[in-house]
Amino acid sequence: MEDYGKSEFAEQFRNRTKRFVIDIINLYRLLPRSVEAQVIGKQLLRSASSVGANYRAACRGRSQAEFYSKICIVVEEADESLFW
Q: Average pLDDT in the 41-57 region?
A: 97
pLDDT of 63 reads 94
pLDDT of 74 reads 97
Contacts of 41 (CB under 8 A, 6+ apart): 27, 28, 31
Q: Average pLDDT in the 11-40 region?
A: 97
pLDDT of 7 reads 87
Q: What is the CATH number of the domain that holds 66?
A: 1.20.1440.60
Residue 20 sits in which domain range? 2-83
Burial of residue 63, with CB atoms counted within 10 A of its CB: 0-12 exposed, 13-18 middle, 19 or more buried: exposed
Is the full-model pTM beyond 0.75? yes
The chain-wide mean pLDDT, for the chain, equals 93
**Which among 80, 26, 16, 72 is positioned nearest to 48, based on CA atoms?**
80
What is the total count of domains within the chain? 1
Examine the pLDDT at 75 and tell me if it is beyond 70.
yes
CB 14 within 8 A of CB 56: yes
